[in-house]
Structure 1
């Protein structure tokens, strides 16, 4: 037991009681000191005007909020959660640090300690050099110092000009998503690990730019146009608007559901400003190939939609005219006439169930990059729609193992 500093008038009496086998609590009560003070006496901790000095060389300064071990300064507090966090095996654990202390005190060489722990001698050398103070190496103090040093600001890979940043920038200009860019990097540079970046790193770079005043540039790079993350919410219920006899999606053949057979399409309208213009969109379920249907002027009633869809579908090869899935919008009131003209049955989704035609919903979200909400869609002619469709069909898609819809459709047509 460490006798330590003798400044307190009752400390000597306390130490005599402890030497006689009296418990810490009883001895503290007999001499009239707090149990925390008694514990400090037992462990040789010395109090100062603004902190404590521990036998392992740690100096806790409660005024500045720091812990100093020789030349090592630990920013406090280090939370218990941080100390107990399970780390990757490449980091030294507390038990390994305890063993380093024991073997080092026993006079073992750095190489011998490394062999005992399955670590390199340089790891042991760095550990002892970084965490040894005037009182030697203490594993618990070393663990706290290591935890305190671990958090640090890291410079983003995209902060400085580099081939990686140029690739990401070019992808964003082509309206690729961060996920498409990350996977394209792997395909284009399979052996170059420097050409790797996470999806989150790209998003963080974009959102940080937005906070730095580049809102306009970010809105062109992020399809939603948002400058910060937004939590997902359940869509609100809609009142059904289509009451004519329909064949519901529950009657759709299984071959359509599992996307095993090409030629089955999903469709919908994207609406322009004040509901006065629209573009019909068709997405093939197996390949995600997109076709945009021009609706002249401001008309997108049932007759205009029927005529536009018939004209478009009749231009498709016969084996790609399987079926069409649509929501319950009134623009499909002439669905029977469409089926008669094309031979394609139409299946209708349940109310408030856009996920039942998810490929088309996703595609319509992508198209809003080209045709923002609140704009006049009648300004875009057939040539404009064809150009947008070509660009969209040229994007690599995760669901297609990063092939493009155009490549998948080309393979189908070549059969």
Structure 2
């Protein structure tokens, strides 16, 4: 088998399988490519000592772009100010005459000179599992597969098709319930004292009940914290679906948003150290942050423009 360029979806598969402890040879068999392809991909496109799909794909695209031009120092001063405000290179490039690839090249050069710009980038933490350990989260009863979802959900043409996940705190003792709308990217975030299914159910219903009439579907991963999915679906009047195992890309909106949240709450943090007010501030910032796929509008802007008064309480 010859080496070929990997797609973004294949990189998400690599990321998900690595998280679950599978070997590079096993991943190569799953992707039907040579083990050397997987080894080369991880070695060339990893971030520090870990591999993240989104970062790897951006790095690969940047490497293929060999064009380089000198940028005025005044422009770099603007770039630095935007980075300090925690804007991504892609968002900065939409406002300043410099490509995001140039920004990504500039940041490691700054780090070599003992600069601190790299600290403003959104690095997603990786949950490590020991190799050879099987999946222990168990099977969920009455689980409806993502493949049963209506085709319209894939089009992102309506508000109310949601993705849900939990972000784990220190020693897996606390969690954040993270819910994102697929169309607008609007985020709901709430802290739970545990990861137990009852706490996750209560947080989910509490967050979404005010707009239950607007909701359509919700899609989760296969964690045991969603074992009360039928109760959630009944209380909110929506359809509940589950992604395939090791398929994080099937909930890409949620995965990407969780990466943004990790910019404010690092992996291993004790969530009890963060107040509800701080969680609300994170939610507000992300909901008012411009997104490329929204034409650099914020989720709140899109939500207000398309749903008006009915959802103004959330803006």
TM-score, scaled relative to structure 2: 0.70
Could you tell which deviates more after superposition, 239-248 or 253-262? 239-248
* Separation (CA, whole Å) in 2 of partners of 1:245 and 1:223: 36
Contiguous gaps of at least 5 residues in structure 1: 1-153, 186-195, 227-235
* Alpha carbons 1:249, 1:325 under 8 Å: kept: yes
* Separation (CA, whole Å) in 2 of partners of 1:184 and 1:385: 28
* Separation (CA, whole Å) in 2 of partners of 1:222 and 1:269: 22
Residue 308 of structure 1 is matched in structure 2 by 203
* Separation (CA, whole Å) in 2 of partners of 1:251 and 1:177: 35
* Separation (CA, whole Å) in 2 of partners of 1:345 and 1:381: 32
Matched, 1:401 2:295: yes
* Separation (CA, whole Å) in 1 of partners of 2:86 and 2:191: 22
Contiguous gaps of at least 5 residues in structure 2: 1-67, 126-131, 310-315
**SS of aligned partner of 1:282:** strand
Higher share of residues assigned helix: 2
Residue 362 of structure 1 is matched in structure 2 by 256
Paired residue for 1:180, among 91, 111, 114?
91
> How many residues are treated as equivalent by the alignment?
235
**SS of aligned partner of 1:269:** strand
Residue 99 of structure 2 is matched in structure 1 by 198
1:317 shift after superposition: 5.6
* Separation (CA, whole Å) in 1 of partners of 2:209 and 2:71: 50
Residue 220 of structure 1 is matched in structure 2 by 119
Query: Highest Rg: 1 or 2?
Result: 1
Residue 231 of structure 2 is matched in structure 1 by 337
1:170 shift after superposition: 2.4
CA deviation string 1:356-378 (max 9, x = no partner): 11100011111111010111122
1:243 shift after superposition: 3.0
Residue 42 of structure 2 is matched in structure 1 by none
Residue 87 of structure 1 is matched in structure 2 by none
1:294 shift after superposition: 2.1
Matched, 1:291 2:192: no
Residue 247 of structure 2 is matched in structure 1 by 353
1:173 shift after superposition: 1.6
* Alpha carbons 2:172, 2:195 under 8 Å: kept: no
* Separation (CA, whole Å) in 1 of partners of 2:80 and 2:204: 37
Residue 275 of structure 1 is matched in structure 2 by 172
Q: After TM superposition, what 4+ stretches of structure 1 lie above 4 angstroms from structure 2? A: none
Which has the bigger relative contact order, CA under 8 A and spacing at least 6?
2
**SS of aligned partner of 2:265:** coil
Residue 82 of structure 2 is matched in structure 1 by 171
Q: Aligned-residue CA RMSD in angstroms?
A: 2.2
Residue 158 of structure 2 is matched in structure 1 by 261
* Separation (CA, whole Å) in 1 of partners of 2:172 and 2:85: 29
